[in-house]
Amino acid sequence: MVTIYGIKNCDTVRKSLKWFDAKGVENKLHDFRVDGIDVKTIAGWLDEVGGKVLINKRGPSYRNLSDTDKATLEQGGPAAAEILAANPTVIKRPVVDFGNTRTVAYDEARWAELAGV
């Protein structure tokens, strides 16, 4: 089972869900807005992929953060995970969890490799 983290009204998340469905890969959506996201999970993602990959600096959610919060995100660590948990729309979408590996952003080639399709 693949878990797709994001928000259901995000075009890229919807496109991702359709891709996995079309390939016959069992999946479920974990909607940040509905299901929330905990600091421990985000801290793990930051350790695995890093802030440069995980943080979406191009969106309005990031631009609306305070300069202090932006500086904290640059430094990483537990404080950055707390800011992302409180503002999950700053996380680049989708985060796709294959169980032992996570990918960030839309990446059909990598997903096909990891899902074996």
Q: Is the pLDDT of residue 76 over 90?
A: no
**Cα–Cα distance for residue pair 87/23, rounded to 1 Å:** 32
Assigned token pair, 39: 């600091």
How remote is the C-alpha of 7 from its chain's centroid?
9
Sequence letter at residue 68: T
Q: Is the pLDDT of residue 56 over 90?
A: yes
Which amino acids are annotated catalytic? 10
**Cα–Cα distance for residue pair 87/60, rounded to 1 Å:** 11
As a whole-number percent, the residues of the chain with pLDDT over 70 amount to 100
Q: Is the pLDDT of residue 70 over 90?
A: yes
Q: Give the range of the structural domain holding residue 65, as residue numbers without chain letter.
A: 2-115
Tens-digit pLDDT profile for residues 81-111: 999 999 999 999 999 999 999 999 999 999 9
Tell me the pTM: 0.92
**Cα–Cα distance for residue pair 39/22, rounded to 1 Å:** 32
Please give the radius of gyration of the chain, using alpha carbons only, rounded to the nearest integer.
14
**Cα–Cα distance for residue pair 94/4, rounded to 1 Å:** 6
Q: Classify 111 as helix, strand or coil.
A: helix
Number of domains the chain contains: 1
CATH number (domain holding residue 110): 3.40.30.10
